[in-house]
Amino acid sequence: MRNRIATLAFGGLTLALMSSTGTFAQDAQTGGTLRVLGTAEVDRFDTVPPATADTGSFFRATTRQLINFAASEDPQEQIAPQADLAETVPTATDDGLTYTFTLREGANWDAPDGPRQIVADDVERGFKRLCNPFIAAPAVAYFEDLIVGFADYCAGFAEVEPTVEAMKSYIEDTDIEGIETPSDDTVVFRLNYAANDFIYLLTLPVTTPAPVEVLDYLPDSPEYRDNYISNGPYTIESYVPDTQVTLTRNPAWEAESDPLRNAYVDSIEIIAGVQPDAAMQQLQSGDGDMLYDINVPPVTVQMLSMQGDEKISTLAEGASRMIWINTVSENNDGALRDPLVRQALNYAVDKAAVVQQVGGPEFATPLNGIFPLGILGHHEFDPYPTPDNQGDPERARELLAEAGYPDGLSLKMPFRNAGNGAAEAQVLQASLEEAGFDIELVPTPASDFYPRLITNFDNALNGVWDLVPSGWSPDWPGGAARSIFQPQYTYDGTHGTFNFSDYNNEEANEIADQALSTTDLAEAEKLWNQVDEIVMADPPTVPLISQTTVLYHGDRVENFLPYAAGGNGDWTNVWLNR
């Protein structure tokens, strides 16, 4: 599959860089401590439980997977799956249903009794932990119906008591039919159906192998953290909650076994509790080197751009913003169930104003479909065109009148009352009201917005909200159309997911299945384009913007290469100019 995927020039996939800050490998310096500044601490040490996207940089340094991505300034190389623990990226056999991996020699665990080779059983054990009843991995949904026997394995695990003893016994005594380990260095996956993104799925941190020792602890428990076992170039030296995590070199890691991480620095300090303005000051003064979960403020980007600062770059990793439309409530006699009303909403919004509100074109571009820049399936089409993306209130009013609402509609729009949430909501309110919608803004605490408000289907059904601004980032870069379409735009009978109004379109589902099963990725892209157009003909959302991540680093940092799966520069490949 390496020849088919890794070298493919994906049409429509653009990960732009404003500037280049890398230098040649022969200039590399080893040693020193990389200082990474963040507002929040690293939220997970274990790859199984749900974690923020920022944690991807931590996992890059401390874990390895069968497949991963290279850190690179080349947009195509950034999204091309590369062999990591595997010797090569295999080509599927058996009509796309079988993948066989050979593990690299010298890829080791930092085990309590000394370095130990990672073996096939460790890979299988990693998958076995995904649907544990204590704290399951949300990403298990990608694998449950895909790998032969995985659904049955997870159904059995759901009946197990969430204790260390019971879970360890189940994992050790129960096999997953579709994961075979014929030898220590060979892992075979058998699939229920062909899926051309299976290789991409294996880049997810949740697929990290698991040493047998982790079965003695609950996932990500204090005991797990105190007995952390790494297979990456760095391991945890110390952890002060809410303050700092310090990583140091993993003595079991062998550079010859790792084609993706050079591990130039001796240690990495991830420092929490730093506010954005203070973090930028520290980067510019030399007291910090890189950012963790902090976005570069728009005013700072503009200043740095005017100064010609070459340490600023951008990465389009597939993040987007949209407005979700509640199509299940009885508010306004079910007006939002009418496609004409939803089309009116799409015509009404001034997307150019949203772009400016987040900082301008360095941060975002208008989006007209469900697949943003950087994702297989993104294409230039505009089903609801407006002059310069500034909205067309007259056309919106015409559609409202045609739908039977000549006097407009009153709608409730909660927003996440943190960060950019209030400012974004006010911009949206202004353009929607110009088009005949009376918008009631409802500020909602960040801690309640997703878990208690919009993922609770009862709130949609009972009309607690009509519109909600929301965001989405795929679980991996590049060929990640599944990671956008399935969680948000398909309904399998389970409420309370990120498909906030249980949207479903069988025609789109069928074409998506074809897109996943074809071995021709150019054909897959065309099929995902069709899916996009079918969904937007309904439409259940108002796409707003494709977001761009602005990256910045301090003067000491050299070889700053974007790692698309982490949305940041790669800690494991920078070195420090000392």
- The CATH number covering residue 254 comes to 3.40.190.10
The residue ranking higher by pLDDT, 358 or 264, is 264
144 and 42 both lie in a single domain: yes
Whether pLDDT at 228 is above 60: yes
Q: Are residues 541 and 491 in the same domain?
A: yes
The answer to whether residue 14 scores a pLDDT higher than 80 is no
Determine how β-strand 549-552 pairs with β-strand 312-315: antiparallel
Work out the number of other CB atoms within 10 angstroms of the CB of residue 275: 11
Q: How confident is the model at residue 496, as a pLDDT?
A: 67
Same structural domain for residues 543 and 561? no
Split at pLDDT 50, 70, 90, the class of 3 is very low
DSSP state of 452: I
Residue 156: count of CB within 10 angstroms of its CB = 12
What integer pLDDT is reported at residue 68 of this predicted model?
98
pLDDT band at 2; cut points 50, 70, 90: very low
> If phi over 0 gives left and psi between -120 and 50 gives alpha, with beta otherwise, what is residue 563?
beta
Are 521 and 566 contained in the same domain?
no
541, 562: one domain: no
State mean pLDDT over 211-232: 98
Pairing of strands 409-416, 437-444: parallel
412 & 353 share domain: yes
Q: Beta 290-291 vs 33-37: how paired, if at all?
A: parallel
Evaluate if residue 504 carries a pLDDT over 70: yes
pLDDT, mean of residues 12-21: 36
3-state secondary structure (DSSP) of residue 553: strand
- pLDDT computed for residue 10 by the predictor: 32
- pLDDT of 23 > 80? The answer is no
Report d(CA 382, CA 368) in Å as an integer: 6
* Confidence grade of residue 454 (pLDDT, cut at 50, 70, 90): very high
CB 219 within 8 A of CB 48: yes
**484 and 555 fall within a common domain:** no
In sequence order, the β-bridge partners of residue 443 are: 415
Q: What share of the chain is helix, strand, coil (3-state, %, to 5)?
A: 35, 20, 45
Q: What Cα–Cα distance (Å) separates residue 152 from each residue in 218, 549, 552?
A: 22, 40, 46
- What type of residue sits at position 198? F
The confidence score (pLDDT) of residue 519 equals: 83
pLDDT of residue 27: 84
Say yes or no to pLDDT of 1 above 70: no
Same domain? For 233 and 346 the reply is no
Q: What is the CATH number of the domain that holds 429?
A: 3.10.105.10
Find tokens 């990671």 and name the residue: 483
167: tokens are 């879970």
Kindly indicate the confidence band of residue 578, based on its pLDDT and cuts at 50, 70 and 90: confident
Mean pLDDT of 34-41: 94
| Mean pLDDT across 502-515 | 97
Residue 471 included in any domain: yes
The verdict on residue 418 lying in a domain is: yes
pLDDT digits (tens, 9 = 90+) for 393-449: 999 999 999 999 999 999 999 999 887 899 999 999 999 999 999 999 999 998 789
Give the model's pLDDT for residue 15: 34
For residue 283, is it within any domain? no
Using CB atoms within 10 Å of the CB of residue 527, give its burial: 0 to 12 exposed, 13 to 18 middle, 19+ buried.
buried
Based on its alpha-carbon atoms, the radius of gyration of the chain, rounded to whole angstroms, reads 24
Average pLDDT of 548-566? 94
Tokens of 262: 């050079």
Q: What phi and psi values does residue 182 have, to the nearest 5 degrees? A: -70, -20
CB 380 within 8 A of CB 365: no
Same domain, 513 and 425: yes
Q: Is residue 558 within 8 Å of residue 264, measured between CB atoms?
A: no
pLDDT at 113 over 60: yes
Total number of domains in the chain: 2
CA-to-CA dists, residue 38 to 32, 391, 528, angstroms: 19, 37, 36
Q: Does 561 lie in the same domain as 513?
A: no
Contact 574, 566 (CB under 8 A): no
Q: Are residues 261 and 383 in the same domain?
A: no
* Separation between Cα atoms, residue 538 and residue 526, nearest integer Å: 19
Angle at 136 between CA 131 and CA 140, to 5 degrees: 55
Residue 26 neighbours by CB under 8 Å, 6+ apart? none
| Identity of the amino acid at 422 | A
Q: Is residue 25 part of a domain?
A: yes
**Distance between CA atoms of residues 66 and 89, nearest Å:** 9
Instruction: Over range 339-348, report the average pLDDT.
Output: 99
| Average per-residue pLDDT for the chain | 92
In this predicted structure, the answer to whether residue 198 has a pLDDT above a threshold of 90 is yes
* Angstrom distances, CA of residue 452 to CA of 175, 415, 494: 36, 13, 16
13 pLDDT more than 80: no
Q: How far is CA 114 from CA 254, 276, 429, 507, in A?
A: 13, 41, 60, 55
Question: What is the band of 497 on the pLDDT scale with cuts at 50, 70, 90?
Answer: confident
- The token pair at 358 is 């987040």
Residue 32 has pLDDT above 50, yes or no: yes
Asked if residue 530 is part of any domain, the answer here is yes
3-state secondary structure of 12: coil
Same domain (yes/no): 542, 555: no
Range of the domain at 416: 320-547
Q: Residue 140 falls within a domain, yes or no?
A: yes
Between the alpha carbon of residue 91 and those of residues 95, 259, 525, the distances in Å are 10, 19, 20
Reading the block at residue 357, the tokens are 């509100």
Domain membership of residue 431 (yes or no) is: yes
Whether 307 maps to a domain, the answer reads: no
Q: Note the pLDDT tens digit of each residue in 249-308.
A: 999 999 999 999 999 999 999 999 999 999 999 999 999 999 999 988 888 888 888 898
Cα 16 versus chain centre, distance: 18
